[in-house]
Amino acid sequence: MQNHSDPDNSIVSGELYIKAQNKAQSDCDLKVFCDRGSLALRFPVRHNALWTLLDGKAPSTRKFLALGKYDLNDNPEDWKRASQIAIAMESDLDHPEWEKLFDPTLAKYGIGSAKYAKLAEVLQMPGTKQPEPEMTVGAMWEDYLVWKQTQVEASTFKARYLGLYFNAIKGLKWDAKTKKFSDTGNGIWDKPLGTEVAKLALLIPLNKESKANVLGALSEAFLRAHSQDKIKLTVNPFSNLKQETKPDTRDKYKSVITINGEIWKWWEIRDAKCESALEADKRAFTVQERDIIIEAYYESDQECERQMAPLIEFLFLTGCRPGEAFALVWDNVKFENGFIWFNKSY
């Protein structure tokens, strides 16, 4: 922890931003401010006793804690997180027994300092014990599964929570060629809860949608364990990660450029020509299978099936649901633009 410049304009804009974002922080004297693009905490004079104990001498100036080295920068999400840290710290420091509550390693607040972690090994605050290691992600997850098993269907629990999510947290990825799981090296199972594990969680080897679901489950697991006082950490490291990995629903409409330079529009379909591509193909039918089904309706001996043939072909070619097809009116068909607008369903 060290002194940092305190530009007046940055402090004022930072404090105004916090007041708009969080009323609790506006009442907090341990202020968050921006210093050259990174966030920092400014401690009030009444907390000088802390610095006297940590540094061995009374501070001559106001003390500041730079948060940039913990990747807390000038953006809305980091302002929110820094405000939560400030409120948690001030709550501990203003308590009559603050020496017992305040964690000099800062791990309790979701951050950590190598300097003060080493100092804590030899410095024992009056009436305190050395901080115990934080719960690991794996221990938190196993505790969470005991409860979650009672909340979802058995098939969902087995496939999702014991299967997909469990393997992702372990850093395991299915290899279609070897038919086995391989270790990606990005597992967080054995990692203690904290800021670092949040960074590693973003490397979980899954697509955006599945990763967002895993992070959402981890966040729920943290909140449950924290509510039961099983976790000392005050800031949920997974709270905002789900939004960062949320897939853009517009991506499915983007064109794809092949290695040969050919451009495929989103509505065009190509059959997979290798086993690995087949593994990734989520369609129910290939083009050939689709054509066989449509032809079977057109050439059926049953009149009712022949009457349904145009509808079946339309559903296959557009991908719309039956209810969306039945709700169509001529105004939805844009002949001049070459598209059909699906905007309601029966």
pLDDT in tens, 138-180: 999 999 999 998 888 888 888 889 888 898 898 888 777 788 8
286 versus 116: which is more confidently predicted?
286
Token readout for 209 is 């949608």
Q: Tell how strand 31-35 and strand 38-42 pair up.
A: antiparallel
Q: Which of 123-132, 184-193, 277-286 has the highest mean pLDDT?
A: 184-193
Q: Work out the number of other CB atoms within 10 angstroms of the CB of residue 207.
A: 9
Instruction: Please say whether the beta carbons of 208 and 155 come within 8 A.
Output: no
Ranked by mean pLDDT, the top range of 15-19, 38-42, 191-195 is 38-42
SS3 146: helix
Confidence of residue 310 (pLDDT cuts 50, 70, 90): very high
77-81, 115-119, 227-231, range with the lowest pLDDT: 115-119
Once rounded to an integer, what is the mean pLDDT over residues 69-93?
86
For 10, 22, 101, 211, 337, the CA distances from 247, given in Å and listed in that order, are 34, 28, 40, 9, 28
User: How many percent of the chain have pLDDT more than 90?
Assistant: 12
- Phi-psi domain of 292 (left: phi exceeds 0; alpha: psi -120 through 50; beta: other): alpha
Task: Quickly state the pLDDT bin for 69 (edges 50, 70, 90).
Answer: confident
pLDDT score, position 248 = 56
User: Which pLDDT band holds residue 115 (cuts at 50, 70, 90)?
Assistant: very low
Condensed to tens digits (0 to 9), the pLDDT of residues 263-278 reads 766 556 555 555 455 5
Tokens standing for residue 195: 């800021």
| 220 within 8 A of 177, measured Cβ to Cβ | no
Given this model, what pLDDT does residue 17 score? 43
C-alpha separations of 251 from 147, 208, 265, 266 in Å: 35, 11, 12, 9
Q: Which residue has the higher pLDDT, 81 or 205?
A: 81
Q: What is the model's pLDDT at position 132?
A: 60
Q: Report which residue type is found at 218.
A: L
pLDDT at 49: 83
What is the per-residue pLDDT for 128?
46
Confidence of residue 231 (pLDDT cuts 50, 70, 90): confident
Query: With 0-12 CB in 10 A as exposed, 13-18 as middle and 19+ as buried, what is 256?
Result: exposed
Average pLDDT, the chain: 77
What is the token pair recorded at 317?
A: 């070619």
> What is the bridge-based pairing of β-strands 64-66 and 172-175?
unpaired
pLDDT-derived band at 1 (thresholds 50, 70, 90) equals very low
Name residue, tokens 């040969």.
260
Q: In which residue are the tokens 């305040």 written?
A: 102
Q: Which candidate, 102, 1, 100, places its Cα nearest to that of 55?
A: 1
For 169-227, the pLDDT digits (tens) are: 988 887 777 888 888 888 889 888 887 787 888 888 777 788 888 888 998 999 999 88
Q: How confident is the model at residue 299 (pLDDT cuts 50, 70, 90)?
A: very high
**Does residue 324 carry a pLDDT above 70?**
yes
- Report pLDDT for 141: 93
Confidence check: pLDDT of 327 > 80? yes
N- to C-terminal Cα separation, the chain: 63
